[in-house]
Amino acid sequence: MMRAAGAIGMGCLLLLAACKPIRRVLPFRGDLPPRGAEKMMEHLSAARITDVRYYSAKSSAEVSDSSGTRSFKAHIRCVMDSAAWVSIVPVLGIELARVLLTPDSLKVMDKFHDTYWTGDTAMAKKRFGLAPDLSLLQQALLGQPIAFDPTDRYRSDREDGQYTLTSREKRRFRRAAEDLAEGDTIPRGHDISERRLERTLRRAEKKDAFVVKYWLEPDSFLVTRVLISDLAHDQQADVRYSARTPVNSHSLPTRVAISLSDPTRHAEAVLELDRISLDGPLQLNFRIPEKFKPLE
């Protein structure tokens, strides 16, 4: 799995023209026939993209958090599983900032104030409030069923004109919580209360306690939304794909909305993506000028 929500702190042989046909995600009108979880899992497995190494796009972005809402243009370049490079450009067209994210580090260069910040993702969470997650960003840019594990157990359902698939992990979490609570005075073989389960899971920082829910279009079975809930830490990532376009035999999102939250913070980003390319290799230049000062 992704596995989790920090993700965030806040991702080709052909360059698409802006007039390329875009397929909007629309709700299904009518009654959906029921489909089993195994069939849904087959569609999710088939939708996973494994042959893409590079990704680049231009983006119009709107980011909202407790400090307000900001809009800007951005150039995005990704080397899958290795790094994401983002150049932030305001209306005037002069680069304002540059970001380089790897699986375990973050670098930020503020060209307007001649400052920079570098650190690992744990340091980034302390400094910026939410930990950035390379896997979450890159899978979102590709419109993937984030955190999907075909070895997990799921249940299928129908909701708002779409199919849904939800991980069935509750009993495993309950057993894990009971194992973690061995020092407490509860008889073995007895379930613990929901409140106590929640309290124990909060202490289980190293235990996987995730519930993942997917929404799928009824005709194409492409993912339109992924909701990842970290039960142990009250963290949540909500990713929505509301429009797609064909790129080199793949259906990639042109509009991605990412929402990250925990008990004290909430941040949202909406990306309108254009000129998507899967060509490579890509340059991810990130050199900090000597005159730049560390960000306080």
Domain boundaries, the chain: 34-169+209-283
pLDDT at 111 over 90: yes
The pLDDT confidence band at residue 192, using thresholds 50, 70 and 90, is: very low
CATH superfamily of 34-169+209-283: Lipoprotein localisation LolA/LolB/LppX (2.50.20.10)
pLDDT in tens, 253-287: 999 999 998 888 899 999 999 999 999 999 999 99
CB-based contact 133:6 (threshold 8 Å): yes
**Element containing residue 56 per DSSP (H, E):** strand 54-65
The helix, strand and coil proportions of the chain, stated in percent and rounded to the nearest 5, come to: 15, 40, 45
Average pLDDT of 155-167? 94
pLDDT digits (tens, 9 = 90+) for 201-257: 555 544 557 889 999 999 999 999 999 988 777 889 999 999 999 999 999 999 999
Residues 6+ positions from 108 with CB-CB distance below 8 Å: 97, 98, 99, 116, 117, 118, 295
Question: Residue type at 264?
Answer: T
The pLDDT value given to residue 288: 97
Helix or strand (DSSP H, E) at 141: helix 134-141
pLDDT for 176 beyond 50: no
pLDDT at position 262 is 86
Return the closest-CA partner of residue 240 out of 219, 257, 253, 265. 257
Average pLDDT rounded to a whole number, residues 134-161? 94
Q: Which of 14-23, 79-88, 191-200, 214-223 has the lowest mean pLDDT?
A: 14-23
Q: What was the pLDDT predicted at 169? A: 60
- Lowest mean pLDDT segment, chosen from 28-42, 146-160, 180-194, 202-216: 180-194
Within 8 A by CB and 6+ apart from 270, the residues are 61, 62, 255, 256, 257, 258
